[in-house]
Structure 1
Amino acid sequence: MRQFKKTVAFGLGGAALLLSGLVLAGGAEPMTGMMPANLRATAALRDAAGEVRGEAQFEQAGMGMRVTVQVSGLTPGMHGLHLHEFGRCTPGVDAAENKVVPFGGAGGHFDPGMSKNHDSPTAGNKYGHGGDLPMLEVGADGTGKVTFTTAKSSLTGANGVLNRSIVIHANMDDYKSDPSGKSGARERCGVIKRDNFSVRDYPLPSPQAFPEGVAYDAARGVIYTGSAATGSIYAINAQTGATSLFSEGGAKGRSTALGLKVDAQGRVWVAGGATGAINILSKDGAPVATLMTPPSPNPYLNDLIPTPDGSVYVTDSTRPVIWRVRDMQVEPWLNLAGTPIKYGPGINLNGIVASPDGKYLLSIQLNTGELWRIDTGTKVIKKVMGGLKNGDGLLLDGQTLYVARNADGLVSKVSLGADYGSGTLVMEEPLNGLRFPTTLVKVGGDVVVTQGQLDKLQGGIPETPFKLTRFKAF
């Protein structure tokens, strides 16, 4: 991702993580689609006793975010103001003090650029926390108000702050001392909630869930999701949200679970990532088969899709081949060498879907953002469109394609041509704040997306509980 270097504009109240080929850099990546109109959010600012003593308002302003904070009951003077990682205004351990403090549950400063450094509100996210904001000046009557615009954070995208928190500190901020500019105790906290927008979350029981794939069995009303960290598969009652362990990780060597699909027989198919394996489970969770792709360096089976003729097509993100399973046998169906799909470093072909008649496959190349159509009869490949970098899982609903844009924290909506050979990006939706969304599935008139947090899989502290999020198709 490119670093966005726009300077922060602010006033004072009247006076690179590399994971699976993905780079998370400071600054915002410019969006190319249409964002939701009037994207706004609000945080009720509470004191340690839980009483509301102010409010913060957020509004998307182009590539920047306009923030207005007003508060009462504070001591006169300058107060540090920061965005924090988690949407929890609860007591918790402050790592800087190594003790439980009010609002410690909000975690440390929001740091999308992985700078690990406290800096000024004008420093790029590569050099300082994305949550470093201008200070708030409080007058003699204990009230304060500040309005500013920042390009370090946003209501959408990789620097999105929805469902995170804003914290006011007791002292002024020196804009240099780690971790919080010597700004003292946390005195006010509010969770940033999008205005007039609702979703339903399905929490998962494991603190190591890291849900990557998702599938739906409409006949049984069950949503399945798999753990990229452990290989465990969970079953969720789509109506009640009750969750159970469907198949424990480690079964038949399944140490990871990426793409999931349910076939016409109700069996669950699991792409095994670097294991090079495809696991098939019965509707009761019992192992049916483990199919191995031929031994070769660096396998990475990422997603799969059944088609009406009984075939299952499987993407490999590191080996330039599309695999096919027929009659429980795996074959290298399409060698991509010499085709328009050029493999490079990182994650290549990822999510895959099929037209209802099975004539066409659509697959997204994560590292380039290119969407491809593949004719299953002729094997002719056509580029549908570009501009979908960090595209992960796909959901095809008629001529509408939904794309989970993992590192961008978005679901993109694409309108496809009648032959699936062209596409137009029409909407990019952050919902209520997505944490590395990976895959989607249709459930009735709704869509369910995983919040995989795979950017925290090899380091960092994920938000728990892990969850899937259900929303109205847009």
Structure 2
Amino acid sequence: MKALIVCGLLLGSAASAQSATAILKDAQGANIGSVHFDVVRGGVQVSVQAHGLTPGGHGMHVHENGSCEVGVDAMDNMPKPFFASGEHFDPALSKQHATPTTPDKLGHAGDLPMLMADASGNATLSFTSSKLSLSGMASLLRRSVIVHAKPDDYKTNPAGMTGERVACGVIVRDDSAARVYQVPGTITFPEGVAVSADQSTIFTGSSRTGTIYAIDAASGEARIFSPGGSLGRTSALGLKLDARGRLYVAGGATGAVSVLNPDGSPLTTLMTPPSPTAYINDLVLGPDGSAYVTDSSRPVIWRVTPDLKRIEAWLPLQGTQIKYQPGINLNGIALTPDGKALLTVQYNTGKLFRIDLASRRIQEVSVPGGLMYGDGLLLDGNTLYVGQNKLNWVRKVELAAGAMSGKSDTVSSADGLKYPSTLALLGGDLIAVNSELDRTTSGTPPEVPFKLSRFPKF
């Protein structure tokens, strides 16, 4: 059986994943088939092979979470097989079950054609859909495919009257070399990341509680490094380590920058002037030991003095070419390789700026296409990596000498990034935080445990 689906928009890049596979297993863990995804002209070709099904039609859908564990069915509050996969993949928030050709704004992107099993319980299906992608906002990577017990009526919420979930497979990129580190907690929503000088420890923090976790880079074991609430720290966004092993923490809406000793004990908390719109987002350490700090709501770049005695308004931005707008403004910040300037990205415009440390002169860095939804910045020599959270990918930008322009045609979704925020280097690998911060407003529960993704530089 073949089906052709031609509506919707394909978001992707030539450097993104080209193929992925989900191995279907039944509730007893037996392998009953596979679903293969290939990027082709016009969308994604999907090929399904399955056996051991009851004869007849079986609804098939992509679900939000990359898990096939037992979960709780919200309809009756009972644990059932595969319910950890969550609800149907619905990036446009249509909240409507519909046909596989219905535009995303009117129906779930995860609503797939029906799988038909013959008298022997075998089923094959091949179709191409422009609604599906292996990169970007609509990426299928690290989501799950569910096969149901009954046919799909393509209209009844939430799943077309398809009955029990009888098979499940997580969609995994075929060429993946990614590793996942799990972050404790069910409301953590990690945002920042830093790596110790000896490369043995990864630090990340909770945007919701301020707790800082230390993760062993070899074993993946996580522990609390500093509990939330220390010296008033109730949120942790950007993180940076200095040469003495002290950890600087951007405090989000608290308007504070916290500094921790190498053993995790609190050293100091420095407060910016009280404001209902404070949003201390990210920071970077300068060559003199100062910390330069972005504020996503107030038009100013702050500076923590090297002696950690005060935080000051280093560069007011009113009247400059960095024009603040409603929403999230300046976000990620990095130091140029020569140590002479800062680079910072404006989230809601996609503009990248260079700020000279000596003169405080601001210049826009030309990057064709811009860096919309730019969150964390990471500089590796003249290569700038940008976490574009809403797009679910990391973009690579090659900067020209002097960092006044850059070229970019490469992105990586790794193996299913979920709203990637900040980035760090670990040897020859990148660490990206899967913040899932979009789920704090969408009404979709987060996929737990939260994760950091480690994958080779590209």
TM-score tier by shorter-chain length is over 0.9
**Does residue 1:350 correspond to 2:334, yes or no?**
no
Aligned mates of 2:228, 2:276 — CA distance in 1: 24
Question: Which has the higher mean CA deviation after the structures are superposed, 264-273 or 377-386?
Answer: 377-386
Question: Which has the higher mean CA deviation after the structures are superposed, 105-114 or 391-400?
Answer: 105-114
Per the TM alignment, residue 62 of structure 1 is displaced from its structure 2 partner at its CA by 4.7
Question: Which has the higher mean CA deviation after the structures are superposed, 70-79 or 192-201?
Answer: 70-79
Aligned mates of 2:397, 2:224 — CA distance in 1: 34
Letter in 2 for 1:307: G
Provide the secondary structure at the position in 2 that maps to 1:215.
Answer: strand
**Does residue 1:427 correspond to 2:407, yes or no?**
no
1:28-177 paired onto structure 2 within 5 Å: 30-31=11-12, 34-36=14-16, 39-62=18-41, 64-177=43-156
- Superposed CA deviations along residues 289-314 of structure 1, whole A, max 9, x for unmatched, are 11111234411110000011122110
- Asked whether the 8 Å contact 1:305–1:352 carries over to 2, the reply is yes
Per the TM alignment, residue 152 of structure 1 is displaced from its structure 2 partner at its CA by 2.6
Aligned mates of 1:98, 1:118 — CA distance in 2: 21
Letter in 1 for 2:15: M
- Residue 186 of structure 2 corresponds to 207
Aligned mates of 1:48, 1:242 — CA distance in 2: 29
Aligned mates of 1:113, 1:388 — CA distance in 2: 21
Aligned mates of 2:222, 2:165 — CA distance in 1: 36
**Does residue 1:391 correspond to 2:370, yes or no?**
no
- Asked whether the 8 Å contact 1:307–1:357 carries over to 2, the reply is no
Change (3 A) 1:49 1:220: closer
The partner residue of 1:463 within 444, 447, 451 is 447
- Asked whether the 8 Å contact 1:29–1:158 carries over to 2, the reply is no
- Superposed CA deviations along residues 157-185 of structure 1, whole A, max 9, x for unmatched, are 11111111111112211111011001122
TM-score of the pair, normalised by structure 1: 0.91
Alignment length, in residue pairs? 451
Change (3 A) 1:41 1:276: same
Per the TM alignment, residue 411 of structure 1 is displaced from its structure 2 partner at its CA by 0.9
TM-score of the pair, normalised by structure 2: 0.94
Letter in 1 for 2:411: E
Aligned mates of 1:221, 1:76 — CA distance in 2: 53
Alignment RMSD? 2.0
Aligned mates of 1:330, 1:289 — CA distance in 2: 11
Per the TM alignment, residue 97 of structure 1 is displaced from its structure 2 partner at its CA by 4.7
**Does residue 1:265 correspond to 2:250, yes or no?**
no
Q: Which runs of 5 or more residues in structure 2 are unaligned?
A: none
Letter in 2 for 1:462: P
Aligned mates of 2:324, 2:207 — CA distance in 1: 23
The partner residue of 2:344 within 363, 369, 378 is 363
Letter in 2 for 1:43: A
Aligned mates of 1:10, 1:148 — CA distance in 2: 7
**Does residue 1:330 correspond to 2:306, yes or no?**
no
- Superposed CA deviations along residues 75-103 of structure 1, whole A, max 9, x for unmatched, are 33322110112222233323345433332
Provide the secondary structure at the position in 2 that maps to 1:266.
Answer: coil
Counting aligned pairs with the same residue, the percent is 52
Letter in 2 for 1:348: N
Provide the secondary structure at the position in 2 that maps to 1:158.
Answer: helix
Instruction: Flag as ranges the 4+ runs of structure 1 deviating above 6 A.
Output: none
Aligned mates of 1:217, 1:91 — CA distance in 2: 36
Q: Which runs of 5 or more residues in structure 1 are unaligned?
A: 1-7, 12-25
Letter in 2 for 1:422: S
Aligned mates of 2:132, 2:327 — CA distance in 1: 26
